[in-house]
Amino acid sequence: MSLPMPWDHVRRTSIVLEMQPSSGPTSTQAETQEQPKVEEQLESQEKLPERPLSKRRMYLIVATVACITFVNSTLSGLMTVSLPTIARDIHLPDSLLLWPPAVSSLSCGCTLLAFGSIADVVGGRKIYLLGMFLITGTTIACGLSRNGLELILFRTTQGLAMALCLPSSVLLITSNIPHGENQNIAFACLCAGQPVGFGFGLIIGGLFIEELTWRYGYYLTGALTFAIFIGAIFALPADTAESQPISRILFRIRRDIDWIGCLLLSACNGILLYLFSVLASGTHNFVTATSLSLTVVAILIIPAFVLWVRKQERLEQKAIIPPSLWGNKVFPSLCFIVFIVWGCFNATQYFISLYFQLVQGLSAIQTSLRFLPQAFMGLGTSLLTGWLVKYVPAAILIVCSAIITAVCPILMATLDPTWSYWRSSFFALTCIPICADVLFTVASLLTVSLFPDDHGLAGGVFNTISNIGNSVGLATAAVIAASVTKADLEGSHPKDPIDALRSGYRASFLACAASNVFVLIAAYYGLRNVGKVGIKN
């Protein structure tokens, strides 16, 4: 692994210096124009590490940062396998069944952009440590929940803590790991934490449900998160921002963050995520005065946000997402692909778990063991992608992985409950993580390159889109499943409840499979000229 060289970080700044005249300024106006550029150069110099990091230190940084995706996916795995048991234990009504997994994405998606922007100014280390500490507390609190309201409240707070860690993890990688193959592998390791964590969450969730209680899964995860928090204190290097005076940090927070744009976009995201969470619990809950009013507010916020960022860019001021990015078809295409892939991936996971437990009547531990191929395939795919990105164009990687992943919901839709696990389910669970894990590494590298000066914000943008995709995908699949199930139960020839439930799940799986067509179109249209990513310049 090569070590970062200080001059790599100032190459862009040196170009600015070369473009300046060699003679001194000839007027006061020229001096005024020079001052902002000098300030930018000084800020770039502040970002330089005092000395190159050793290989061991870089390994520790990557391992520590990858723990956030591990913990996040562990909690997701716990919720996936434990949800039916949790609902029975705390008397969670059917209308709120999908709220515990949904509210975390809701609160996280609302605040990712703000916390990512703050991390760019304050430094990734402080924000990451604060988030890990809060995740520890909220995870243990979830295990102590006595009713549905408490669980939903703690999961909401947990989403806020995740929003602190996810963007700062991207910033910690880009600020400490040199660009090129080393950084590719670092992002691949960050991605690898997802399948490993999800598999771990499924296993401990299933074991504790069978032997003790679902609560011990959260206690163990909370203790593990606290251990990671302690290790991160020593493993992560100090931020350059820590040497700046508080007044300087506060000044940069006011100057370098588009607070109005961030507020508008976060409010719109929050409303939309809430509406889709309501929709997931039943269409009858959506057609209310509150939901319709919030829909109107969200629609009005969108043009207000567009007008604001256009004004900011025209005045050459900070814009949370510059409008010029949308003119580059790579960015909107990438956003659309992340949105679709994460929505299908999340929905397919949850409905496979429900299918195993509610249709096939399997126990929690039996369901957990059936998800293990997903964890191993996801780990292998993540590491392989980190190596492949410098040899294979991004569009080819995404298209091939999307075609393979589309096999999963098709197999589940055609599955006969009496079939052996090895006949169909095994291959479905082996295929499901491939596209999401390939896309994580590719999209992370592309997003960081599109936000060269704001890597924390880049991490926030990527995770915001994936969170919205999670909520929309789960809500859409839930509506489809509920509608088909209801039609089968109330038709002229009512079906058995289990058969009706199976029909609803089959319709959701087919919808997820069909959505991969849009991924192929977007990848061909928007990414065909991207070429290879993650190549050291």
Q: What is the DSSP string of 468-513?
A: HHHHHHHHHHHHHHHHHHHHHHHSSSPPPHHHHHHHHHHHHHHHHH
The 8 Å CB, 24+ separation contacts for 481-487 are: 481/351, 481/505, 481/507, 481/508, 482/282, 482/283, 483/283, 483/507
Residue 536 lies in a domain: no
Residues 99/277, Cβ–Cβ less than 8 Å = yes
Task: Tell me how long the chain is.
Answer: 537
Residue from 250, 260, 251, 270 nearest 319 by CA = 260
Q: How many domains are there within the chain?
A: 1
- C-alpha 499/C-alpha 495 separation (Å) is 6
Domain-located, residue 50? no
Residues in contact with 327: Cβ distance below 8 Å, sequence separation at least 6, in sequence order:
none
Beta-carbon-side half-sphere exposure of residue 423 (alpha carbons within 13 Å): 7
pLDDT grade for 227, boundaries at 50, 70 and 90: very high
Quick check: is 342 in a domain? yes
430: domain range?
55-527
Residue bearing tokens 């999401």: 436
DSSP-based helix, strand, coil % in the chain, nearest 5? 80, 0, 20
Q: State the CB neighbour count (10 A cutoff) for residue 20.
A: 13
According to the model, what pLDDT value does residue 532 have? 64
Residue 8 has pLDDT above 60, yes or no: no
- Site of tokens 């061991």: 56
Higher-confidence position of 449 and 504: 504
Can you tell me the distance from the alpha carbon of 503 to that of 497, in angstroms, rounded to the nearest whole number? 10
Distance from C-alpha of 337 to C-alpha of 326, rounded to nearest angstrom: 14
* Contact residues for 371 (Cβ-Cβ < 8 A; gap 6+): 77, 81, 198, 199, 202, 352, 353, 429
In this prediction, residue 82 carries a pLDDT of 80
Q: What is the CATH number of the domain that holds 410?
A: 1.20.1250.20
Tokens 């909370």 correspond to what residue?
222
Confidence (pLDDT) at 470: 78
In-domain check, residue 434 = yes
463 lies in a domain?
yes
Residue 49 placed within a domain: no
User: In the prediction, which pLDDT does 535 show?
Assistant: 56
Q: Which amino acid is at 400?
A: C
Tell me, yes or no, if the pTM score tops 0.95: no
Predicted pLDDT of residue 240? 67
Q: Please check whether residue 384 lies inside any domain of the structure.
A: yes
> For the chain, what percent of residues have pLDDT higher than 90?
3
Q: Are 510 and 413 in contact (CB under 8 A)?
A: yes
Confidence at residue 400, expressed as pLDDT on a 0 to 100 scale: 86
Q: Cα separation of 201 and 199, whole Å?
A: 5
| Predicted local confidence at residue 464, as pLDDT | 77
d(C-alpha 22, C-alpha 322), whole Å: 33
487-500 residues labelled b (16+ CB within 10 A) or e (exposed): ebbeeeeebeeeeb
431 close to 408: Cβ distance less than 8 angstroms: yes
- The per-residue pLDDT for range 359-371, each reduced to its tens digit, is 888 887 788 788 8
**First and final C-alpha spacing in the chain:** 16
pLDDT tens digits for 121-166?
Answer: 787 788 889 999 999 999 999 888 888 788 888 888 898 898 888 8
Q: How far apart are CA 71 and CA 64, in angstroms?
A: 11
249, two tokens: 């940090």
Residue 310 counted as domain residue: yes
Quickly list DSSP for 294-362.
HHHHHHHHHHHHHHHHHHHHHTT---SS-THHHHSTHHHHHHHHHHHHHHHHHHHHHHHHHIIIIIS--
